[in-house]
Amino acid sequence: MRLKELREDSDITQKYLADLLHIKQNTYSQYENGQRQPPLEVLISLAKFYKVTLDYLVGISDIKNPYKN
């Protein structure tokens, strides 16, 4: 997954995203470290936040948004 890469590229803290997602910071950290799999609802929220596809977010595709003009 590209969670850490997207977060760091956007200069956002784990705490900020955790608050946005209504989860604890250590839970978000576990998502980034691969210690825990984020639920689909969290992945959808993050994809919307970063304006990328789920495929890009989870590493299936290298195209951030194929529908963007």
- All structural domains of the chain, each given as residue ranges with its CATH number in brackets, are 3-57 (1.10.260.40)
pLDDT (tens digit per residue) in 50-63: 999 999 999 998 88
Task: Give the model's pLDDT for residue 69.
Answer: 57
pLDDT digits (tens, 9 = 90+) for 13-46: 999 999 999 999 999 999 999 999 999 999 999 9
Distances (CA, A) of 40 to 11, 44, 68: 24, 6, 23
Tell me the pTM. 0.89
Q: What is the pLDDT of residue 65?
A: 81
Displacement of CA 61 from its chain's centroid (Å): 14
Distance CA 27, CA 38 (A): 9
List Cβ neighbours of 18 (8 Å cut-off, separation of 6 or more): 24, 25, 27, 28
